Amino acid sequence: MTAVVVASGFVGRYIYTAVPRTADGLVLEAEAIEQALRQAEADLKGIRVDEAGVGGEALGTGASLVLGRGLQDLRERWHAWSTGRRLDRETRARASRTATALRRLRDLRRQLASLATARRLLAVWHTVHIPLGMALFVAAFAHAGAALYYATLLR
């Protein structure tokens, strides 16, 4: 039961990080994400995007949008690295700045698309994890009480 609660905690922490937050830890609403998205798009105006090696991947849908983001990030980093190593130093520096801006834009789009799904998954996780944790603590206290009773008090 301990292993199940610990594994559930890791899954919950991963889902928790998918809910967009400010630097202060406050949960961002869709309007704030849309505003940041408009700002990021404005920042990208006029930048040449073709050599960055980042960008046009599909975001995914539903739970895969939330739970598959690590694999998607890994794929994107590999693609950017393999594209960037064939470029000269100056082009690589430009591509790096562009890739950073595109990554920010993609992350904001993913946050906006996954906001409702992440909150729903977090609610489902709470309904499973909290009762499992409570059952674990009840079982641990019952075990400790029974061990004390049978080992010391019964003699």
Strand partners for 21: 27
**Could you identify the residue written with the tokens 């050599």?**
51
pLDDT in tens, 64-77: 666 666 777 788 77
Structure tokens at 98: 């562009």
Do residues 44 and 103 lie in contact, with contact meaning Cβ atoms separated by under 8 Å? no
**pLDDT-based confidence at 48, cuts 50/70/90?**
low
**Confidence at residue 107, expressed as pLDDT on a 0 to 100 scale:** 77
What is this structure's pTM?
0.49
